[in-house]
Amino acid sequence: MQKLILLALVGLGAQLVDGSLGMAYGVTSTTLLLAIGTNPAAASATVHLAEIGTTLVSGLSHWRFGNVDWKVVLKIGVPGAIGAFLGAVVLSGISTEVAAPLMAVILLTLGLYVFLRFTFQGLPKTQLGKPLRKRFLTPLGLIGGFVDATGGGGWGPVGTPAILASGRLEPRKTIGSIDTSEFLVAVAASIGFIWGIGSENIDFGWAFALLVGGVIAAPIAAWLVRHIPPRVLGAAVGGVIILTNTRSLLRSDWIDAPDNVRYAFYGVIYAAWAAAIVYSVLQYRKHSSEDAEIIAEAEAIAAGGAPDDKDKTPANA
- Residue 125 confidence class, pLDDT cut points 50, 70, 90: low
Tell me what pLDDT residue 236 has: 77
In this predicted model, which residue has the larger pLDDT, 96 or 53? 53
* Contact indicator for 135, 183 with CB cutoff of 8 Å: no
Report the sign of the C-alpha dihedral through residues 292, 295, 300, 306, in that order: positive
Tell me what pLDDT residue 317 has: 40
- Residue 229 confidence class, pLDDT cut points 50, 70, 90: confident
Tell me what pLDDT residue 75 has: 94
At residue 268, does pLDDT exceed 80? yes
Tell me if residue 23 falls in helix, strand or coil: coil
Tell me what pLDDT residue 41 has: 77
Q: For residues 137 and 314, what is the distance between their CA atoms, to the nearest angstrom?
A: 47
Lowest mean pLDDT among 82-86, 208-212, 269-273, 278-282: 208-212
Average pLDDT over the chain reads 78
Q: What angle, rounded to 10 degrees, do the helices at 171-197 and 40-64 form?
A: 150
Q: For residues 248 and 159, what is the distance between their CA atoms, to the nearest angstrom?
A: 25
Tell me what pLDDT residue 12 has: 75
Lowest mean pLDDT among 49-63, 97-111, 286-300: 286-300
Lowest mean pLDDT among 20-34, 121-135, 234-248, 285-299: 285-299
Q: What is the pLDDT of residues 31-50, one digit of tens each?
A: 777 777 777 777 778 888 88
**Model-wide pTM > 0.85:** no
Q: For residues 185 and 190, what is the distance between their CA atoms, to the nearest angstrom?
A: 8
DSSP assignment letter at 259: H
- Residue 71 confidence class, pLDDT cut points 50, 70, 90: very high
Tell me what pLDDT residue 70 has: 92
In this predicted model, which residue has the larger pLDDT, 240 or 80? 80
* Contact indicator for 72, 225 with CB cutoff of 8 Å: no
At residue 132, does pLDDT exceed 90? no
At residue 315, does pLDDT exceed 50? no
Q: What is the pLDDT of residues 156-170, one digit of tens each?
A: 777 877 787 676 787
At residue 93, does pLDDT exceed 90? no
